[in-house]
């Protein structure tokens, strides 16, 4: 399966896991990955007993688009191990390079192109968030892009519904023209704002454009989930989820 292999016998990948708590898993055998850019393979994890993975760390509101597990699970395990210092054997690399290897591994496992780039953009945001230098500059860039795209998207929605006329690319036009203008802006505006991400600009473009097109779906899912939690709490009643009481 691509450049992945079984460490014990050198044969095809065998991803065998055991659930720890329903969310995190431990591996029963180590897996290896050969990158075309390195002579030495990556072997993960270095410690089977201590290593934990949740596969793809996807926020619940996006699991409809990228489930936590799938054909890309081995790449997610590889990335989890590499970005945790000392939890792999292989060439020393930084987190940015680990993200790149993750993207390549996704494609080698047959992950669709759009999904693989979305997943790479997501781990790139996590890398920006944990950068050791100029951390608040990177965090500010992430928050500014997400906030700006969300705000502009909400304003554009009101413009489309003729609640106001604010955005120049919408205006008082036909529905089709406004939808076209909004679609173009959903690509151009996030791409320009993503330039503030510097070396991570490509990840910013993917993140911004994806958010612009998926904003309403995301808000709808969040609203439905919030309603479900409210109904669950009302039906279940107070004190639920505390477990059995001792006699």
Q: How confident is the model at residue 222, as a pLDDT?
A: 85
pTM of this prediction exceeds 0.75:
yes
Q: How confident is the model at residue 245, as a pLDDT?
A: 45
For the stretch 81-129, pLDDT in tens is 999 877 999 999 999 999 999 999 999 999 999 999 999 999 999 999 9
* Burial per residue of 124-154, b for 16 or more beta-carbon CB atoms within 10 angstroms, e otherwise: bbebbeeeeeeeeebeebbeebbebbeebbe
d(CA 123, CA 128): 9
CA distances from 22 to 54, 55, 80 (A): 9, 12, 17
Centre a 10 Å sphere on the Cβ of residue 45 and count the other Cβ atoms it contains: 24
Across the range 14-25, mean pLDDT stands at 89
Higher pLDDT, 65 or 96: 96
For the stretch 140-178, pLDDT in tens is 999 999 999 999 999 999 999 888 989 998 878 888 999
d(CA 176, CA 160): 10
d(CA 41, CA 62): 32
Q: How confident is the model at residue 68, as a pLDDT?
A: 86
CA distances from 27 to 15, 19, 58 (A): 8, 9, 20
Average pLDDT, the chain: 90
């Amino acid at each position: 399966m691509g450049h992945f292999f079984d460490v014990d016998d050198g044969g095809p990948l065998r991803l065998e896991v055991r659930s720890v708590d329903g969310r995190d898993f431990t591996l029963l055998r180590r897996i290896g990955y050969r990158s075309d850019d390195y002579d030495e393979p990556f072997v993960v994890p270095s410690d089977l007993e201590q290593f934990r993975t949740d596969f793809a760390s996807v926020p619940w509101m996006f699991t409809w688009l990228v489930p936590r597990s799938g054909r890309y699970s081995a790449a997610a395990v590889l990335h989890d191990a590499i970005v945790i210092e000392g939890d792999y054997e292989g060439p020393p690399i930084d987190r940015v390079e680990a993200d790149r290897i993750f993207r390549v591994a996704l494609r080698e496992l047959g992950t669709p192109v759009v999904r693989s780039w979305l997943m790479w953009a997501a781990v790139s945001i996590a890398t920006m968030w944990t950068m050791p230098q100029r951390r608040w500059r990177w965090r500010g860039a992430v928050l500014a892009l997400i906030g700006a795209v969300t705000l502009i998207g909400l304003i554009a929605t009101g413009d489309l519904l003729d609640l106001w006329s604010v955005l120049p690319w919408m205006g008082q036009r036909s529905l089709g023209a406004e939808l076209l203008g909004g679609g173009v802006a959903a690509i151009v505006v996030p791409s320009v704002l993503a330039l503030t991400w510097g070396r991570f600009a490509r990840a910013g473009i993917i993140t911004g454009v994806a958010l612009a097109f998926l904003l309403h779906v995301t808000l709808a899912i969040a609203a439905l989930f919030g309603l479900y939690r409210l109904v669950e709490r009302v039906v279940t009643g107070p004190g639920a989820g505390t477990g059995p009481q001792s006699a």
